[in-house]
Copies of this chain bind each other. A is one copy, B any other.
Amino acid sequence: MNAKQRLLHRQQTISSRLCVGLDTELSKLPSSLQGNSHPIVSFNGSIIESTSMYASAYKINTAFYEQYGESGWVDMKKTIGMIPNEVFTIADAKRADIGNTSSAYSRAIFDDLNCDAITVNPYMGYDSLAPFLEREDRMVIVLALTSNPGSTDFQRLISNGKPLYQHVIETVLSWKASASIGFVIGATHPDELAMIRTYAPDEVLLIPGIGAQGGDIDAIMQANANGPVMINVSRAIQYAGDAADFGEKASEAAKYYKDQIGYYS
């Protein structure tokens, strides 16, 4: 199975399109873990145990681990190692650089961390993504229209009658790729999502921005038109509880979001 097939197989097995974000910060951990010698790994282990029955994927944002230097990198690798094999893993790294440098990033994410997918930034064009696109058993998820306010600064600039993010999607789809392809579309843009599904009906979309960022699940699921999708929720699941029962609260939140998202019809 290629990466897209593995993802869809996992989604089918548990009837879930939920992706759980693991954006773990020391300052947000429940006080019951504050004395722990490896609090991030302990916390993530509990979150994974409490939510994996509802998670089609986990998304690990590399920034939250890199901020702690080499020990953060160790925690990130241990976290990924605790995720059950059948659950899809995404390194939300937003990388891209010139060719020989992106090759190094692809080794970092796909080999050292062993993730199924990576998020990448399209600004530098084809050769900056080629080392990722060559990996036939992995998924490359390209930023298109992101969930944040700054997505209006450049992503919506119109060139030849089309916004930049549409150029990105259409151009990336025209490239030769062994990897599976996906795109990031923020949950804060349901109207644009509906348009995107007219020219990219079968592409995997990773949709962040539900929960803390305020995206509307119903509007998004309607606009998505049954295309393959992962709906990411990070803080609203990870930090659903701040007492000793944080795992239970995370589990309830994950089930809530899985049900709200619903399944393909």
Contact surface of A with B, Cβ cutoff 8 Å: 23, 25, 61, 63-64, 66-74, 77, 92, 94-102, 104-105, 107-108, 111-113, 121-129, 143, 146-155, 157-160, 164, 167-168, 171, 213
Residues of chain B lying within 8 A (CB to CB) of residue A102: 63
Total copies of the chain = 2
Docked Cα-Cα span, A122 to B94, in Å, equals 12
Whether the Cβ atoms of B63 and A69 lie closer than 8 Å is no
Whether the Cβ atoms of B23 and A101 lie closer than 8 Å is yes
Residues of chain B lying within 8 A (CB to CB) of residue A104: 25, 61, 63-64, 66-67
Q: Would A143 and B159 be within 8 Å (CB), given that A101-B23, A148-B128 are in contact?
A: no
Whether the Cβ atoms of B77 and A112 lie closer than 8 Å is no
- Name the residue of chain B whose CB is nearest to the CB of A112: B69
Q: 14 A-B residue contacts at CB 8 Å?
A: A63-B95, A63-B105, A66-B104, A67-B111, A69-B73, A69-B108, A70-B71, A121-B121, A122-B123, A125-B154, A127-B148, A128-B146, A129-B150, A158-B159
Whether the Cβ atoms of B125 and A151 lie closer than 8 Å is yes
Docked Cα-Cα span, A100 to B211, in Å, equals 15
Whether the Cβ atoms of A67 and B127 lie closer than 8 Å is no
- Name the residue of chain B whose CB is nearest to the CB of A100: B23
Whether the Cβ atoms of A123 and B159 lie closer than 8 Å is no
